[in-house]
Every structure is written in structure tokens, then in C-alpha cells.
């Protein structure tokens, strides 16, 4: 692991790191904030998964999470959203909703994407093994959150690994990718035309198939231009109501899809996670 930068912030250290990934076959960059802590102490870990077109840098530079992490004693890890580098294919037409920056947190099975787009394995296996080997992380206390495509990732990772994560939350998540254009394009391109293969990567489908969490927290801006045709939060609300999952779904007038929205409610999410990680 190579340290690319380290900056003092709120008494802790914000670092950016790069390593050679065996999952993606490419270099991968991620960020970690470690708050001030007593020597030898192990701290709970919050994972943040970012959205379409993003890297680790979006939340690192615009998420405004460090003060809350310092207050609650939380490590925050932000991964990239897809593999990158020479030879990594993107969208054939150059669109930004598939390929580079749009890995959708799945392990692709379709050529040419299957060689590098192994993001499920990367965020659920490889990076979680790297973190405790290099940082004072208590892997018995983990939670996960994400934004947009990363909200989709956080929900599906959390639903499929309920034993690992004590809390799961999301900002403006894609809750049912099988039913919306962004998700249909990505799941078909990465996993093929058989929609049965999509269900493990669709939060609403996972809940319908029996996946359970005790509770979820979701924030959504009502001025989000993607609300009606891509995000469909009402589908998650209905699925959770039917399954008996305690969903706190908050709508916010005037807020759009960007990081001004995310940063406005980040501290509240982290306080909610901290209460469940104690």
C-alpha cells in the first residue's frame, strides 16, 4: 500500500492510499480518515460508497464528515467506484452511466468487463482485509453508507451481510436498479440478460426474496432530478413496510442530488451510525 497524501484534520489524519488490487487487476485508490485516539485503541469503521462518475475524492473533499467522525471516534473509508487504467473498458458510446466511474458494485460476468469489474469482491473482501492490516480498525464494529449508485451498493451489501454491519444508511439511493434505466443498463451490461442474476444486486428484490435488516435510514432530496425515473424511493418504502423493516425515510424540500445535499445530512447519519456502533 502506497500513501499518496496525509493531512491533519480535526485532530485526526485524512489519508489517501493506492494499492494493486487482485480483484480488479488494476491499481485502486481509496481514502481513510482516522480520528485522534488513545494508543492501542481500535475504532469502529464506517464505509462510504460513492455514486456515478465519482471516485473516493468526491466524499473526501465535499462530504464534510471529519468533524462528526472526530466527535464520535469513527474511521471512515471511501473506495473508488470502478477499476481504472489502461485497458479497462468503458461505455462503448462514452456515456457516464456505465463503465468507468460506474461499476455498480457488482462482479461482472460479461466480456469485456469481467476481467476488471469485480467491485463486489473488492468492497466486500479485498479492501476490508487491507484496512485492519494498516489502520486501528475494529472490524467487529462496522457500518456502511452510500450515495446514489453507492446507496444502491450500501443497501445491497448491507442486506447480504447483515452479520457484518451494525447500521446501513443511504443518501438518494437507487433502490430498485432492475426497474430503472441506470440499473437496467448496468446490470445487463455487467451480468447479462438473465434478470434472475440481477436480483442479488437489487435492494427491493433482495427484501422480497427474504433479506432482512432491523432498520434503515434513507435521506432523499425532493428537488432531485432523478427522483421519479431512477431512484424510486417509494419502492423501498413499500418493500420495507411489507417485510417489517424499520425504515426511516426522510424527504427534504429543495435539496437536489449533489454533495450540498449529502453534506447537509452527513453529521446526522454518522451520529445514527455511532449510536449503533457503540
pLDDT tens across 244-258, in order? 999 999 999 999 999
Question: Can you say whether the dihedral through the CA atoms of 236, 229, 170, 160 is positive or negative?
Answer: positive
Q: Which domain holds residue 129?
A: 2-277
Kindly report the number of other CB atoms within 10 A of residue 247's CB atom. 17
- What is the number of alpha carbons within 13 Å of residue 156 lying toward its C-beta? 29
Q: How many domains does the chain have?
A: 1
**Of 170, 252, 249, 248, residue with least CA distance to 203:** 170
Q: How far apart are alpha carbons 134 and 154 in whole angstroms? A: 23
Q: What is the CATH number of the domain that holds 123?
A: 3.40.50.1820
Mean local confidence (pLDDT), 172-176: 98
**Residue 148 catalytic?**
yes
**Residue 31 catalytic?**
no
Taking CA 83 as the corner, what is the angle to CA 78 and CA 85, rounded to the nearest 5 degrees?
Answer: 120
**Of 148, 170, 7, 13, residue with least CA distance to 76:** 13
Cell of residue 47, nine digits: 464505509
Catalytic residue among 50, 79, 143, 148: 148
**Residue 19 catalytic?**
no
DSSP state of 177: G
**Of 78, 77, 69, residue with least CA distance to 10:** 69
- pLDDT tens, 31-83? 999 999 999 999 999 999 999 999 999 999 999 999 999 999 999 999 999 99
CB-CB contact of 32 with 60 (8 Å): no
Q: What is the pTM of this model?
A: 0.98
Catalytic residue among 116, 147, 257, 273: 257
| Predicted confidence band of residue 126 (pLDDT cuts 50, 70, 90) | very high
Amino acid at each position: 500500500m502506497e500513501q499518496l497524501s496525509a493531512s491533519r484534520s480535526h485532530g485526526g489524519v485524512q489519508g489517501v492510499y493506492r494499492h494493486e488490487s487482485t480483484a480488479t487487476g488494476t491499481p485502486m485508490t481509496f481514502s481513510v480518515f482516522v480520528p485522534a485516539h488513545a494508543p492501542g485503541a481500535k475504532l469502529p469503521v464506517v464505509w462510504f460508497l460513492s455514486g456515478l462518475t465519482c471516485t473516493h475524492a468526491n466524499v473526501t473533499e465535499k462530504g464534510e464528515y471529519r468533524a462528526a467522525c472526530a466527535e464520535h471516534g469513527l474511521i471512515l473509508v471511501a473506495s473508488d467506484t470502478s477499476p481504472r487504467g489502461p485497458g479497462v473498458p468503458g461505455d462503448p458510446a462514452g456515456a457516464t452511466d456505465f463503465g468507468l466511474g460506474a461499476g455498480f458494485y457488482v462482479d461482472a460476468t460479461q466480456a469485456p468487463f469481467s476481467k476488471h469489474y469485480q467491485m463486489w469482491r473488492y468492497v466486500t473482501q479485498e479492501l476490508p482485509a487491507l484496512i485492519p492490516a494498516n489502520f486501528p480498525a475494529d472490524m467487529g464494529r462496522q457500518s456502511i453508507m452510500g450515495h446514489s449508485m453507492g446507496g444502491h451498493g450500501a443497501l445491497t451489501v448491507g442486506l447480504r451481510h447483515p452479520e457484518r454491519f451494525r447500521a446501513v444508511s443511504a443518501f438518494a439511493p437507487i433502490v430498485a436498479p432492475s426497474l430503472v434505466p441506470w440499473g437496467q443498463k448496468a446490470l445487463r451490461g455487467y451480468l447479462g440478460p438473465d434478470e434472475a442474476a440481477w436480483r442479488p444486486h437489487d435492494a427491493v428484490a433482495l427484501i422480497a426474496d427474504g433479506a432482512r435488516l432491523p432498520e434503515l435510514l434513507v435521506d432523499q432530496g425532493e428537488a432531485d432530478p432523478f427522483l421519479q425515473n431512477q431512484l424510486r424511493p417509494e419502492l423501498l418504502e413499500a418493500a420495507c413496510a411489507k417485510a417489517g423493516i424499520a425504515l426511516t425515510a426522510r424527504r427534504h424540500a429543495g435539496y437536489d442530488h449533489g454533495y450540498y445535499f449529502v453534506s447537509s445530512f452527513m453529521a446526522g447519519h454518522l451520529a445514527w451510525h455511532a449510536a449503533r456502533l457503540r
